[in-house]
């Protein structure tokens, strides 16, 4: 099936070279889908890590937590760090459950 470019409102059939270039560009875009998805998931994970760090890096707030709750937060943070190592990453991600904020 012929493909066309639109040049100043006029449909012009692509040359074989233009079609090859378009095919290569589309293949490259498709090949990068996993990398783009991984970047999106890492960005989301990094935002969650910033929230955790802002919460637990406050010495007064951290001192007010019981050792058990501190351990929950430490585990949650470690699970966030491990998200990229999950099987199925980046298409399938199981997000850890954030401990309750006190």
Q: Are 14 and 5 in contact (CB under 8 A)?
A: yes
Answer yes or no: is pLDDT of 2 > 80.
yes
Residues 6+ positions from 27 with CB-CB distance below 8 Å: none
Q: How far is CA 47 from the centre of its chain?
A: 10
The pLDDT confidence band at residue 4, using thresholds 50, 70 and 90, is: very high
User: Would you state the pLDDT for residue 102?
Assistant: 57
As a whole number of angstroms, the distance between CA 20 and CA 39 comes to 29
Q: Are 101 and 55 in contact (CB under 8 A)?
A: yes
Does pTM top 0.85 for this prediction?
Answer: no
Answer yes or no: is pLDDT of 14 > 60.
yes
């Amino acid at each position: 099936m012929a493909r066309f470019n639109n040049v100043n409102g006029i449909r012009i059939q692509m040359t074989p070279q233009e079609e090859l270039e378009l095919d290569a560009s589309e293949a490259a875009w498709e090949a990068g889908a996993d990398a783009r998805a991984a970047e999106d998931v890492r960005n989301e994970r990094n935002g969650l890590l910033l929230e955790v760090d802002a919460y637990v890096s406050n010495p007064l707030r951290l001192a007010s937590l019981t050792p058990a709750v501190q351990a929950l937060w430490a585990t949650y943070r470690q699970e966030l760090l491990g998200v990229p190592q999950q099987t199925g990453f980046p298409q399938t991600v199981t997000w850890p459950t954030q401990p309750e904020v006190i």
